[in-house]
Amino acid sequence: MAKITTLAAGVGALTGLLAIGLWLFGMTPLHGYWETLTLALAAVLVLDSIVAFVGPSRIFYSTALVSALLAGSEWVGGGSDASTAILLSVVMGGATLVLSVGAARFEPKVSEQSNPMNLPVFG
């Protein structure tokens, strides 16, 4: 089973790449300021998610913030012209938000067997 940190980083990267792909293929109704803002946030989300693979778990708080901003900019910028692709991107942004907060708060537990205090004592 994948750890939540790996899952959150992967979904975050996919969300950012989806937003960039929607812009590249012209499938976004965003124009002007919203288009630029969404593209910049998507690039930051991809980079932040890549860093989250190897960085400390506190990085996931910034991933959650950027994904919330990205979903909000797509939602507000799309307005009534929002396509199914934009709605999918907003849903993925929400999933990234939830997973990132969970990953930031995740603390791995040490099992009884692998605890270093349970080493045999030889006298």
- Domain span at residue 84? 15-105
Q: Is residue 117 assigned to a domain? A: no
| 24 within some domain | yes
How many structural domains does the chain have? 1
- Average pLDDT (40-44) is 94
User: Is the residue at 100 inside a domain?
Assistant: yes
What is the Cα–Cα distance from 69 to 93, expressed in whole angstroms? 9
Half-sphere exposure of 89 (CA within 13 A, CB side): 32
Within a domain: 6: no
Please give the Cα distance from 104 to 91 (Å, whole number): 20
Average pLDDT across the chain, whole number: 84
Q: What would the pLDDT profile of 46-69 be if each residue is shown by its tens digit?
A: 999 999 988 888 899 999 999 999
59 in a domain, yes or no?
Answer: yes
Whether 28 is in a domain gets the answer yes
Evaluate whether residue 91 is within a structural domain.
yes
More confident residue, 13 or 80: 13
Distance CA 103, CA 49 (A): 12
- 13-34 confidence digits (pLDDT tens): 999 999 999 888 887 777 778 8
Residue 76 included in any domain: yes
